[in-house]
A = this chain, B = another copy of it.
Amino acid sequence: MARRAEANNRLDDAARAGWLYYVAGRTQDEIATIMGISRQSAQRLVSLAMAERLIKVRLDHPIAACLEAAERLRERYDLRHVDVVPSDPGSSSTTVGIAEAGAAEIERWLKLPEPQVLAIGTGRTLKAAIDQLPAMECPQHRIVSLTGNIGLDGSAAYYNVIFSMADAVKARHFPMPLPVLASSAEERAVLHSQSLVQVALKLGAQANVAFVGVGELGPDAPLCQDGFLSQDEMGQLTKSGAAGEICGWMFDHDGALMAGSFNDRVASVPLPSRDNASVIGLAKGRRKYEALRAALKGRIINGIITDEATAAYLLNA
């Protein structure tokens, strides 16, 4: 209790310092005087406010190039939602920019007064976006995970994002108490017959919007890195024409879901219908180009949040 109160006080101070710095435009020296602390402490509070994401910065200007690329992408692939953020050529991050933009779009949905069903995939990009969400109270909505949250060893998978989201957003959350991949189609059927899973499956079908990462394939794919797929299996998949995956669902270079053994074992909730729901993919970077192109071509997704460079590729492809 005391500890909690102190932590809150510190965050309050951080918020106050951040407000004075970013909103009121005071210098850290002034803030130190105002708050009766040393300049260094003021600096720490300001940077704490940033680290704790108390301060949110967003760009409110349609950069012409991004906007134009977005418009052309929308037409080219008949998309419901397009967000193109500036590229940062020097950065190797695969999330900077689209995490913020993704969070903004998720927030937009969460702010709707009408009850919504939001479906959430998994992956590093989505995790980064979720981490940008502010604390919100939205009891009217329901949030369902599209993929299982159980790793190979039975532990909760790290990049299953619904738990991170539950921390920030007060709404009913429905995780998928399943592994990502069943050992066989039969096992999947058994798993899916569980009542808890049935709830998630039904909600997934009702989703108004889904936010998903887009996974590339290849030796360095996240699915391999996290141990869900052996290099052998990955090799077979790419050899048989797989171009990428979303929530585990493999699709080929035309964006058609691949028939066959692998997809029969994927335990994820089927992606919501692209006719009724927005399925928004978050991804950028050279390695995802081809997977994104295929997903867009096959209308696996009907919305995208990406960066300029990736948008340029998708327009020229």
Query: Are the CB atoms of A85 and B54 closer together than 8 Å?
Result: no
- Known contacts A15-B63, A16-B63; A57/B97 CB under 8 A: no
Q: Say yes or no: is A24 at the interface (Cβ < 8 Å to chain B).
A: yes
Encoded as 1 (CB less than 8 Å from any B CB) or 0, chain A from 215 to 254 comes to 0000000000000000000000000000000000000000
A186 lies within 8 A of chain B by Cβ: no
Q: Which of A1-39 contact B (CB under 8 A)?
A: 8-9, 11-12, 14-16, 18-20, 22-26, 30, 33-34, 36
Decide yes or no whether A154 CB sits under 8 A from chain B. no
Contact of A61 among B12, B68, B96 (CB under 8 A): B12
CB-nearest residue of chain B to A17: B86
Q: How far is the CB of A185 from chain B (nearest CB, A)?
A: 43
Partner of A56, one of B19, B20, B30, B58: B58
Which B residue sits closest to A53, measured CB to CB?
B60
Interface size on A, residues (CB 8 A): 49
Stretch at the interface among A87-95, A115-123, A201-209: A87-95
Report the Cα distance A52→B61, complex, angstroms.
10
Q: Determine if A15 and B57 form an interchain contact, defined as CB atoms under 8 angstroms apart.
A: no
Contact with A90, one of B18, B34, B67, B96 (Cβ below 8 angstroms): B34
Q: Which chain B positions have C-beta within 8 A of A67?
A: 15-16, 19-20, 23
Would you give the shortest CB distance from A86 to chain B, in whole angstroms? 5
- A315 interface contact, C-beta 8 A: no
Q: Across the two chains, which residue of chain B brings its CB closest to A25?
A: B96
A55 touches B (CB below 8 Å): yes
Contact of A85 among B19, B55, B57 (CB under 8 A): B19
Chain B residue nearest to A88 (CB atoms) is: B24
Q: A19-B85, A88-B20, A96-B24 are in contact. Are A134 and B60 (CB under 8 A)?
A: yes
When A23-B100, A24-B71 are in contact, do A15 and B88 touch as well, CB less than 8 Å? no
For residue A110, give the distance in angstroms from its CB to the closest CB of chain B. 12
**Also in contact, A135 and B19, with CB within 8 A (given A24-B91, A88-B24, A90-B34):** no
Q: How far is the CA of A241 from the CA of B52 in the complex (A)?
A: 50
Chain A 34-70 interface 0/1 with B at a Cβ cutoff of 8 Å (1 = within):
1010000000000001001111111111111101100
Cβ–Cβ < 8 Å partners of A286 in chain B: none
Residues of B within 8 A of A24 (CB): 71, 86, 88, 91, 96-97
Asked if B61 and A15 sit within 8 Å, CB to CB, the answer is yes
A54 to chain B, nearest CB (A): 4
* Contact string against B for A residues 108-140, beta-carbon threshold 8 Å, 1 for contact and 0 otherwise: 100000000000000000000000001100000
A137 shortest CB reach to chain B, Å: 11
A-B residue pairs in contact (CB < 8 Å), sample of 17 = A12-B61, A12-B63, A12-B64, A15-B62, A15-B64, A15-B86, A16-B67, A20-B86, A24-B71, A24-B86, A25-B96, A26-B91, A36-B108, A49-B61, A54-B60, A55-B59, A60-B134
